[in-house]
Chains A and B, each alone.
Chain A
Amino acid sequence: MTKRKSIVAALLLSLACDAEVPVETSVESQIERGRYLVTVGGCHDCHTPWEPTDHGAAPDMSRALSGHPALLDMPDPPATNGPWIVALAGTNTAYAGPWGVSFTANLTPDEETGLGTWDTETFVATIRNGRHLGRGRPLLPPMPAANYAQMTDEDLAAVFAYLRSLPPVRNRVPAPRPPVVASL
């Protein structure tokens, strides 16, 4: 092999070996990546209670990602009519539809009422499998789990790292309610 070809080959070798995608390695950068994904992914839309403000409804960031407020007792949902099949609470944290009533989960790291005892594997399995704890009851609408299941392992891990960095909020979200079967 000539010297010119050797240099070309060496360059090709180095380029081919340097084929790995850069990965966020620092904890801080992972958390920041997670914060970005949670923001653009719209998690606050449902998992942070919304409240009326002078500028219209907005998420109450003092209860960021803490889910449906435990003290907000929801009455039975209203009857729906024709193509109108969903009702939602003013907080955006409770949804009623053909599946029953779902309440958005507390995603803060509170050990008793949030994700405090979860690990990254459990969180990723929950999103990938669309099941609570990765193998329990199905995640209910309107959780767009099928969309988030397309995220990479690195991105899901970053989301979880960000959630773990939040202040824990003690808020025991009520269990879902089954659909009401109309009596004949």
Chain B
Amino acid sequence: MTHTVPILLLVACGEVVEPSLAPIPARLSHTGLFVEGTTDARPELIAFSPQYPLWTDGAEKRRWVELPAPIDASDPDDWRFPPGTRFWKDFSREGRRVETRYLEALPDGTWRYATYVWDEDGRDATLAGERGARVGDHVVPSVNDCVACHEGRRSPVLGFGALQLSGDRDPLAPHGSAHADDVDLAALVDRGLVRGLPEALRAPRIDAESPVERAALGYLHGNCGGCHDDRGPLRSLGFVLWRSLVDDRGRETLRAASVFTDAAHPATQRVVAGDPALSMVAIRMGSRTPHLQMPPIGTEVVDEAALALVVEWIRNERNVP
């Protein structure tokens, strides 16, 4: 009776008790990134570099992914990742590792986030608290900040998709250099790790009227499109900076009236052809005043190279609203 009742309770209530997940490791060396006993990434992990990387105030980055099964890329704009997929993203400043972020796909389809702050001796990193941290000029995000950026679309994976991994890399993309061991989209397809992607999208690029426009739209895609798209929680803003590979939807929203207004600035349009000073996109990119800056998270220093690119694009823009 004493052993039978609990089982009867579970069965009668129709509940199945799932085994609890292992907790996030407290040390980065226990997450599976390194060759044991070293701080080198395991050679079987896939290294990659998005061609339009997110600006993090000049931090150098390395990225890896572990794929236990192929990705479903039948929706080219929204890949489905298998449970057990794991990403790591390493941040260094002046040659010293400061932070490594971790993203893991769970069996129930959700994801969990963690980030690790590197020890002074550079031999391992320790799980950061939920409220994040600051390491010199480098800001380690809080859990809420991770959620805010990564849960703006159906998939929380940013920077790993068809456009970002295209072998047709944009030579004008700000900070878009790749590493020698990086794997691109074609290689992933050939290895059977990305399935369902139309052959025509094997090496996609943004359709643009000039190289500068291509790079500017790409930068906005990589730095803003995770939130500003037509599918996620901010779709009601009607401001699409995510560049679809299926159609050209949303591009016209760049020239619409800005939902955000500020008495300190006369701009009322997102982009005014020929006039960066009246274009809210450029104004907000060029600000680090907390209520005005864009992006609102993860950066305290203006990306001057990208701003110059976007200003040049707007200045040369021919389309008139």
Contacts and interface: CB of A to CB of B under 8 A. Distances in A.
Interface of A: 1, 5, 9, 12-13, 16-17, 19, 99-100, 117-119, 121-122, 125, 128-138, 140, 172, 174-178
B234 A140 contact: no
Contact of B233 (A1, A133, A137, A177): A133
A140 B291 contact: yes
A1 B12 contact: no
A105 to B, nearest CB: 12
The 3 A-B residue pairs whose C-beta atoms are closest, nearest first, are A135-B148, A117-B236, A176-B291
Given A175-B261, A178-B289, A13 B9 contact: yes
15 contacts: A1-B1, A118-B236, A125-B147, A129-B145, A131-B144, A132-B296, A135-B234, A135-B296, A135-B297, A136-B296, A137-B296, A138-B290, A175-B264, A175-B292, A178-B291
* Majority secondary structure of chain B interface residues (helix, strand, loop or mixed): loop
Nearest to A175: B262
Nearest to A131: B148
Contacts of B262: 175
B141 to A, nearest CB: 11
Contact of B263 (A9, A125, A135, A174): A174
A63 B284 CA distance: 32
Nearest to B147: A129
B296 A17 contact: no
B290 A17 contact: no
A31 to B, nearest CB: 22
Contacts of A17: 9, 12-13
Contacts of A125: 147-148, 233
Contacts of A178: 289-292
Contacts of B9: 12-13, 16-17
A19 B8 CA distance: 15
Name, among B1, B237, B260, B296, the residue most crowded by chain A CB atoms within 10 Å (CB to CB): B296
Interface string B206-238: 000000000000000000000100000110110
A129 B291 contact: no
Contacts, number: 79
B152 interface: yes
B13 A128 contact: no
A135 B1 CA distance: 53
B17 interface: no
Contacts of B200: none
Interface residues of B, number: 29
A130 to B, nearest CB: 7
B186 interface: no
B149 A135 contact: yes
Contacts of A136: 296
Interface string B228-250: 00000110110000000000000
A178 B263 CA distance: 12
B5 interface: yes
Given A9-B5, A12-B5, A130 B236 contact: no
Contact of B148 (A12, A118, A134): A134
B8 A131 contact: no
B195 to A, nearest CB: 31
A175 B13 contact: no
B116 to A, nearest CB: 22
Interface string B1-36: 100010011001100000000000000000000000
Contacts of A1: 1
A12 B4 CA distance: 13
A77 to B, nearest CB: 15
Interface in B136-164: 144-145, 147-149, 152
Given A17-B13, A131-B296, A138-B290, A9 B233 contact: no
Given A16-B9, A129-B144, A140-B291, A135 B260 contact: no
A157 to B, nearest CB: 15
A174 B236 CA distance: 20
A175 B233 contact: no
